[in-house]
């Protein structure tokens, strides 16, 4: 989904608002003008047009954006729909805005492939600066999506703990868990009460990372691996997304 080698030939991705579209057209060749007209491209948000060169290859991609751009998702449609290839953003956006757009590109390339191979080869976006930072954001959110998308039969409290342990091992963090009746002894009665009836032992999972000199930040979230609450009263569209209750952890 990303590449950093600037020597590789890439196709420019050019954003354009409806307001600026006529100015853009005035600077293009007759061939490009005719192509855009025949393609009925109007620079509407989330629309794009592949502009060919004389050989019939993609020379550039013009895509529509709103005046008020939500940069995080500005490239998402392109990442989902562009053909396989190498692309680069050609825009006068700030570095931070380009970073946000790159993260959105990476997230739009997401495919859950634990049980079934990915069916699509994602296009690649050239990143010249801070690729590690962008990949860190994408990988973190991808991990969360993967954990949420795994069905409950394969992602119970023990499995969530193992996933956390693997993350701690990868990033040299400290792992600790309090489970079963130990929750009562350690004064976590609510966690115990919610999960005690299950065959899968409830637990508190702690991941601790960093140095004493770092700012102290604590994040607390619930990891509901399986929940039938409201099964008889909630419409189906809400039941389908209840798996996201685990995303807090």
Task: Quick: pLDDT tens for 214-232.
Answer: 999 999 998 888 766 655 6
Whether residues 10 and 109 share a domain: the answer is yes
Task: Write down the residue that tokens 């990476």 correspond to.
Answer: 106
Q: Is residue 65 part of a domain?
A: yes
The domain total for the chain is 2
Q: Is residue 144 part of a domain?
A: no
Whether residues 171 and 210 share a domain: the answer is yes
- Residue 224: the pLDDT is 84
Whether residues 207 and 116 share a domain: the answer is no
Task: Quick: pLDDT tens for 33-68.
Answer: 999 999 999 999 999 999 999 999 999 999 999 989
Range of 161's domain? 152-248
Task: Quick: pLDDT tens for 18-27.
Answer: 999 999 999 9
Whether residues 133 and 166 share a domain: the answer is no
Residue 145 pLDDT > 60, yes or no? yes
DSSP H/E element including 205: strand 203-208
Q: Is 235 left (phi over 0), alpha (psi -120 to 50) or beta?
A: beta
Query: For 97-113, what is the mean pLDDT?
Result: 97
- Residue 230: the pLDDT is 57
Whether residues 160 and 243 share a domain: the answer is yes
Q: Is residue 119 part of a domain?
A: yes
Task: Write down the residue that tokens 């080698």 correspond to.
Answer: 5
Whether residues 127 and 172 share a domain: the answer is no
Nearest to 111 by CA among 100, 121, 124: 121
Q: Is residue 145 part of a domain?
A: no
- Residue 140: the pLDDT is 95
Residue 98 pLDDT > 60, yes or no? yes
- pLDDT, the chain, mean: 93
Helix axes 131-149, 95-108, angle to 10 degrees: 30
| pTM reported for the whole predicted model | 0.88
CA distance 65 to 74: 7
Whether residues 56 and 19 share a domain: the answer is yes
Q: Is residue 27 part of a domain?
A: yes
* DSSP string for 42-111: ---BT-EEEEE-TTSSEEEEEEE--SS--GGGTTHHHHHHSPSSEEEE-----HHHHHHHHHHHHHHT--
Query: For 183-194, what is the mean pLDDT?
Result: 95
Are 195 and 187 in contact by the 8 Å Cβ rule? The answer is no
Whether residues 99 and 63 share a domain: the answer is yes
Whether residues 119 and 22 share a domain: the answer is yes
Whether residues 133 and 181 share a domain: the answer is no
Final residue in a domain of this structure, among 138, 171, 193? 138
């Amino acid at each position: 989904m990303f590449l950093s080698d600037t020597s590789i030939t890439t196709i420019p991705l050019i954003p354009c608002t409806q307001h600026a579209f006529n100015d853009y057209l005035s600077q293009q060749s007759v061939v490009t003008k005719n192509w855009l007209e025949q393609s009925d491209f109007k620079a509407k948000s989330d629309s794009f047009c592949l502009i060919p060169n004389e050989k019939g290859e993609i020379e550039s991609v013009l895509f529509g954006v709103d005046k008020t751009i939500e940069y995080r998702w500005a490239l998402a449609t392109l990442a989902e729909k562009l053909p396989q290839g190498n692309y680069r953003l050609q825009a006068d956006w700030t570095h931070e805005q380009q970073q946000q757009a790159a993260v959105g590109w990476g997230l739009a390339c997401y495919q859950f492939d634990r049980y079934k191979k990915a069916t699509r080869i994602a296009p690649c976006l050239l990143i010249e600066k801070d690729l590690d930072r962008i990949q860190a954001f994408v990988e973190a959110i991808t991990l969360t999506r993967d954990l949420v998308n795994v069905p409950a039969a394969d992602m119970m409290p023990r499995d969530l703990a193992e996933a956390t342990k693997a993350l701690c091992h990868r990033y040299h963090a400290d792992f600790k868990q309090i489970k079963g009746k130990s929750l009562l002894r350690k004064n976590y009665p609510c966690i115990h009460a919610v999960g005690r009836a299950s065959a899968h032992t409830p637990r508190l999972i702690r991941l601790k990372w960093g140095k004493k000199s770092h700012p102290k930040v604590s994040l607390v979230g619930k990891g509901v691996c399986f929940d039938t609450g409201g099964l008889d009263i909630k419409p189906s569209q809400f039941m389908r997304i209840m798996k996201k209750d685990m995303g807090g952890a």
